[in-house]
Structure 1
Amino acid sequence: MAQPPDRLEPAAAAYPKGPAILIAAIAALGGLLFGYDTGVISGAELFFTKDFHLSPGGEELAVSGVLIGAIIGAAVAGQLADALGRRLTLIILATIFAAGAILTALAPNVTIFVIFRILIGFGIGAAAVVAPMFIAEMAPPAIRGALVSFDQLAITVGILVAYLVDLAFAAAGLGWRPMFAVAVVPSALLAIGMFFLSDTPRWLASRGRWDEAQRALARVIGPAEAEKELHGIRTSLQKEEAIPWIVRVRELLRPGVRWALIVGVGLAVLQQFVGINTVIYYAPTIFEIAGFKTASTAILATTVVGVVNVLSTVIAIFLVDRLGRRALLLIGAAGMMVTLAAIGFVFAIGPSKAAYFILVCVLLYIVSFAISMGPVFWLMSSEIFPNRLRGTGASLSTVANWSANLLVSITFLSLLHAAGNAVTFWIYAFLALLTLLFVWFIVPETKGKTLEQIELYWRSGRHWVEASTAERELSKQASGADDANS
């Protein structure tokens, strides 16, 4: 989700970064909640499945209900954030998270459980859009990439925290209900933290609240640069006003931009089709099948997965601007293909005491995903679309991502029972191969490219030009459009 840093004057670059980091840390609690409510189901489902006497189909619905809400949340998040503001939207989402956590923990039957998981899903889907948006619009350009990537790191930390909570409550014999209730704590911290922050300068400016926008900017880049940055926001808003959402979608389908949408939606769908959330949601189940005999040992193995996920994401943040986006995607897709095929092979020959080999394969699979499709999809989703279509393109990609997530998650156990363990993982290995081919033939390398270069890459038939040339060409196009409208 990071964007290339803009050039800063020395005054802005030297301004203390502490306030911006604190703001990003508070907003990233939305990402942590996203991760926690995604990961907590993995340990809890070992217990509520028995309490509710669920069939495989019922278990899939209980696990995947959150994704139905997430699709809706992702679809409307942009409109909510524009209408209510990024800050108020995040406060509302924190309230939804807290209410959903309590009500899910108290659910008397699976129907009520699924209804409130859908409510939590709405918060997850919306937070996936609004939290990084808030951080990106508040962050100084020089550290915007690192701060926005911090949200992705918070998601993986949230998943790990969920695994640790699952492990603690399972070992203590407290069951699944407290596992969900714990989410109230970060929800309250997010709501309280956002209460003391201002909204983003861009949103305040869009509502004509220029003095508030300038004060918000001054907190993170200093008074000297606030006026200059505010002028850029004013110019940008003038270019973007009065463009209906449906018109933006039509523009994304035009030949000069269509490939950006293909890459964005393609990566969104393939990120889920390689099966990552079957591991996140069903890891304890997979490990029980593999030979870990008790729920506690299966959850412990899953916790190791969470630790590896966090560490690998940290590594990816350092590598993505060094090795490049495309290189990481290719390495990751190849690694996922090999490890998924190996898991399928072990299940096929059925050797005794294969549990630890499967654990190693799952860990290598997690490393492969976490250095590639995990963070790089979200990063490229924010880079590849033209400036004025970036929000719409990212929203469409996010909806596609959650829809694919729902499809994979709601079919995993049925596929496991119908096709068998080995064939199921071979199917995901084949989809990882398709991901490798998609990246090889279609996805460009955007490392070191300006946003203007990327935009002109699509408009010029997928050919790179120098940054200065891209800026001149886009300026001519904008001038031509203004002349045509005058």
Structure 2
Amino acid sequence: MNLPAPADNAVVPRPGRSRQPALLYAVAGISALGGLLFGYDTGIISSALLDLAKDLELTTREREIVVSAILVGAMIGAPVSGVLSARHGRRPVIVAVAVVFAGGSLASAAADSMSALVAARLLLGLAVGGASNTVPVYIAETVPPALRGRLIVLFQLMVALGQLLSYLVGYALAGPGGWRWMFGLAALPALVLMAGMLPLPESPRWLVERGRHGVAERELSRLRGPEHDVAAEVEEITSLCREGDRAPRGLRATLRALRSPWVRPALLVALGIAAFSQLTGINAMVYYAPTLLSEAGFGDSVALLAGVGIGLMLVLAGVTGAVSVDRVGRRRLLLWLLPASGAAMAVMGVAFLSGGGSAVQRWTVVGALFAYIFFNGASMQAVVWLIAPEVLPLAVRGPATSTATATLWGFDLLIAVTALTSVQVFGLTPTLLCYAAMNGLCWVFVLRRVPETRGRTLEDIEQGLRAGVMRGNARQPR
């Protein structure tokens, strides 16, 4: 799964800039470990579940609860970390997130009952939500505009790499008691993240918002180099902060702004894409594919190897999507790849009908699974974190984007707590065909409602929204 691109609050880049200081890349590389932990801790449960379900004697519903606990924690951790980072700064919150990651990993490894494991996974969820909300913002507010896109993509790729690493570790440590090591090993990168963040600078934008202009100039000097006009950049950030002061204040004013007729089309697009990113089935496969394959007669070893393949496809899809969103366009990428995503899911569902475990059936199922992961990952999962901050107007971008993020986590939770039960009640093929149909419905939604935002400024998008042309056939960039 891919992580959110924050709203565009960049200052204008200056030509002729010298080589960027190494500290700049240290900021992105070290903080992006939060993405690695995000991906690892959400992905490792699929491999660990095979053995821990036996050791702890979990029912189908209890397995769903164990998987879902981290998502409940993420729904809490994301908004809480937003409040804390606004009050105390981005860097201290990321340090705290690292500590929670380490504590949750060790608690998961030591759990001796379902309730203890659920509590530990809830704790990990707080860290996952905090990382997904704070790390991209920290990178975006720290790096210069010329590097912002590629360094935020680094965070997104680290999420995919974390998921791949979780499948590799799960395959290597499969066996009785191995799940404890799977969970516990995540404490190591968490400690590296915590130690690495301590010497890094605070977000200059947060410092300016707090009126600490002198400290902001000093940190920007470290991040930009001696030839950069630090005072001018601080002044530009100050101007942007003044623009932000025009946003509605207070809960009532924010809710009134969100209900404005001209805002509704953009809010519908943001919430719809967030919901469909989960309803199309990606995390049902990420969380449960090894379990479903094992129970379908593929054997634990084959199921875990398939999990490694899923991790590889997630990384490949992440790279493809990151390159394509700016070259192909958000809307066009969805319209091109969603039919292939739905078709692959449908083929996988129909292939399970044949039964018998023949070689043809096995290869068809695994091939369709990998194709689905690639097509959905390179389209929906690449676009979902970009659409909301691009289409939502400045005055409500913060609270509206948080609403879209909460919607995503909520539907992720819905899938996690219903996937295995749906398979048990209705069967594997009907469940997969339902996900395939959701890909089709998403395609219709994109065709009718989602505008192309590639190559357009945020101001141009907002002007179109105010003019009532927030539709799929809105004018395209030249």
Partner of 1:101: 105
- Whichever residue aligns with residue 412 of structure 1, its letter is A
Asked whether 1:370 is paired with 2:373, we answer no
Partner of 2:80: 76
Tell me: CA distance 1:160–1:394, structure 2 relative to 1, closer, same or farther (3 Å).
Answer: same
Q: What's the offset of the Cα at 1:410?
A: 0.3
Q: What's the offset of the Cα at 1:125?
A: 1.2
Q: What's the offset of the Cα at 1:448?
A: 0.4
Range with greater deviation from structure 2 (55-64 or 235-244): 235-244
- Whichever residue aligns with residue 197 of structure 2, its letter is M
Partner of 1:254: 260
Q: 1:200 aligns with which of 199, 203, 207?
A: 203
Does structure 1 retain, via aligned residues, the 8 Å contact 2:279–2:438? yes
Tell me: CA distance 1:366–1:245, structure 2 relative to 1, closer, same or farther (3 Å).
Answer: farther
Cα distance in 1 for partners of 2:415, 2:325 equals: 27
Q: What's the offset of the Cα at 1:122?
A: 1.1
Partner of 1:311: 316
Q: What's the offset of the Cα at 1:17?
A: 5.8
Partner of 1:154: 158
Q: 1:417 aligns with which of 409, 415, 424?
A: 424
Range with greater deviation from structure 2 (93-102 or 74-83): 74-83
Cα distance in 1 for partners of 2:475, 2:355 equals: 54
Q: What's the offset of the Cα at 1:297?
A: 2.5
Asked whether 1:297 is paired with 2:302, we answer yes
Partner of 1:46: 50
Asked whether 1:397 is paired with 2:404, we answer yes
- Whichever residue aligns with residue 85 of structure 1, its letter is G
Q: 1:330 aligns with which of 322, 329, 335?
A: 335
Cα distance in 2 for partners of 1:287, 1:59 equals: 16
SS in 2 for 1:321: helix
| TM-score, normalization by structure 1 | 0.91
Please show how residues 59-74 of structure 1 align to structure 2 within 5 Å: 59-74=63-78
Does structure 1 retain, via aligned residues, the 8 Å contact 2:422–2:431? yes
Does structure 2 retain, via aligned residues, the 8 Å contact 1:129–1:395? no
Cα distance in 2 for partners of 1:245, 1:419 equals: 46
SS in 1 for 2:13: coil
Cα distance in 2 for partners of 1:67, 1:465 equals: 38
Cα distance in 1 for partners of 2:40, 2:436 equals: 27
| TM-score, normalization by structure 2 | 0.93
Q: Deviations over 1:427-470 (max 9, x none)?
A: 11111111111111101110001111111121111266899xxx
Q: What's the offset of the Cα at 1:351?
A: 4.8
Please show how residues 371-386 of structure 1 align to structure 2 within 5 Å: 371-386=378-393
Does structure 2 retain, via aligned residues, the 8 Å contact 1:29–1:186? yes
Q: What's the offset of the Cα at 1:21?
A: 2.3
Does structure 2 retain, via aligned residues, the 8 Å contact 1:245–1:392? no
Q: Deviations over 1:246-287 (max 9, x none)?
A: 233432221222222111111111101111111111121122
Cα distance in 2 for partners of 1:120, 1:408 equals: 19
Total equivalences in the alignment:
464
Asked whether 1:283 is paired with 2:286, we answer no
Cα distance in 2 for partners of 1:289, 1:346 equals: 15
Q: Deviations over 1:105-143 (max 9, x none)?
A: 101100011011011011111211111111111121012
Cα distance in 2 for partners of 1:226, 1:466 equals: 37
Tell me: CA distance 1:388–1:15, structure 2 relative to 1, closer, same or farther (3 Å).
Answer: farther
SS in 2 for 1:100: helix
Please show how residues 256-271 of structure 1 align to structure 2 within 5 Å: 256-271=262-277
Q: What's the offset of the Cα at 1:417?
A: 0.4
Partner of 1:30: 34
Partner of 1:142: 146
SS in 2 for 1:392: helix
- Whichever residue aligns with residue 57 of structure 1, its letter is R
Cα distance in 2 for partners of 1:325, 1:84 equals: 35
Cα distance in 1 for partners of 2:225, 2:428 equals: 57
Does structure 2 retain, via aligned residues, the 8 Å contact 1:56–1:413? yes
Cα distance in 2 for partners of 1:225, 1:425 equals: 56
SS in 2 for 1:244: coil
Does structure 1 retain, via aligned residues, the 8 Å contact 2:40–2:186? yes
Range with greater deviation from structure 2 (381-390 or 253-262): 381-390
Cα distance in 2 for partners of 1:394, 1:458 equals: 16
Cα distance in 1 for partners of 2:319, 2:22 equals: 20
- Whichever residue aligns with residue 460 of structure 1, its letter is A
Cα distance in 1 for partners of 2:319, 2:437 equals: 28
Q: What stretches of structure 2 of length at least 5 have no aligned partner?
A: none
Partner of 1:449: 456
Does structure 1 retain, via aligned residues, the 8 Å contact 2:452–2:476? no
Asked whether 1:111 is paired with 2:115, we answer yes
Partner of 1:189: 192
Q: What stretches of structure 1 of length at least 5 have no aligned partner?
A: 468-486
Cα distance in 1 for partners of 2:131, 2:285 equals: 22
Cα distance in 1 for partners of 2:465, 2:287 equals: 37
Does structure 2 retain, via aligned residues, the 8 Å contact 1:290–1:358? no
Range with greater deviation from structure 2 (239-248 or 142-151): 239-248
Q: What's the offset of the Cα at 1:186?
A: 1.1
Partner of 1:433: 440
Does structure 2 retain, via aligned residues, the 8 Å contact 1:7–1:142? no
Cα distance in 1 for partners of 2:352, 2:476 equals: 51
Q: What's the offset of the Cα at 1:221?
A: 3.1
Does structure 1 retain, via aligned residues, the 8 Å contact 2:38–2:131? yes
Cα distance in 2 for partners of 1:309, 1:59 equals: 24
Tell me: CA distance 1:212–1:431, structure 2 relative to 1, closer, same or farther (3 Å).
Answer: same
Pairwise CA RMSD of aligned residues? 1.9
Cα distance in 2 for partners of 1:388, 1:103 equals: 41
- Whichever residue aligns with residue 134 of structure 1, its letter is Y
Asked whether 1:213 is paired with 2:210, we answer no
Give aligned-pair identity as a percent.
38
Asked whether 1:460 is paired with 2:464, we answer no
Range with greater deviation from structure 2 (68-77 or 361-370): 68-77
SS in 1 for 2:44: helix
